Amino acid sequence: MDNGIVVPVALFLCITLGITYIARLLVNARLRVKMLQACTSKELVEAVVQSDSHRDQMTALRWGILTVTEAIAFGIIQAMGWTDINPGVVAMLLGAFGLGSLLFFVLARRFR
């Protein structure tokens, strides 16, 4: 691949994804503000804040587990001496991602 093609495409994708993420954050924040303004119940406000906190904790747990399982897979790949991308390497990485997702599912059900 020519760097003259890869760099502009990667830059375009990064900018597009960044704008999309920012737009999503703004829409969610606006929706939350409108919902809380319309709400008169203090219990509902506390429930919304608590559910947001729980969701953030579960997101951090999921990405932590997935990162650790992928790191283990990369360590195994390095230890095996695999230097080329082949079906075994791809299977190892996909298997680590799947294992991490299953582990998160089990732990998330336990922390409900």
Structure confidence by residue, pLDDT tens digits, 98-109:
999 999 999 988
The first and second tokens of residue 31, run together, are: 């929706």
6-44: per-residue pLDDT in tens? 888 889 999 999 999 999 989 988 988 887 788 777 787
CA distance 20 to 17: 5
pTM of the entire predicted model: 0.67
Give the closest residue to 70 by CA, choosing from 86, 104, 93: 93
On whether both 33 and 51 belong to a single domain, the answer is: no
User: Same structural domain for residues 52 and 97?
Assistant: yes
Residues 33 and 47 in one domain: no
Are 55 and 107 contained in the same domain? yes
Contact 29, 48 (CB under 8 A): no
Same domain, 71 and 31: no
Please tell me the predicted confidence (pLDDT) of residue 78.
94
Q: Structurally, how many domains does the chain consist of?
A: 2
Report the C-alpha gap between 89 and 50 in whole angstroms. 41
Q: Which residues constitute the domain of residue 55?
A: 42-112
